[in-house]
Amino acid sequence: MQNRASRRPHGRLIGYARVSTNEQATEAQEVELRAAGCETIVQEHGSGASRARPALAKLVREIAAGDTLVVVRLDRLARSVGHLLEVIEDLTAKGAHFRSLRDPIDTTTPQGMFSLQVLGAVAQLERALISERTKAGIRAAKAKGRLPGNPGIRERRPEALARMRSAQKAAYG
CA-to-CA dists, residue 148 to 45, 83, 131, 167, angstroms? 26, 30, 14, 20
Instruction: State whether residue 97 is helix, strand or coil.
Output: strand
CA-to-CA dists, residue 30 to 8, 17, 67, 146, 173, angstroms? 22, 7, 18, 41, 9
User: Catalytic residue positions?
Assistant: 20
Helix residue spans in the chain (DSSP H): 27-35, 54-62, 81-93, 110-143, 151-154, 158-172
Judge contact between 18 and 56, C-beta under 8 A: yes
Nearest-angstrom CA–CA distance, 88 and 67: 13
HEC string for 69-89: EEECCHHHCCCCHHHHHHHHH
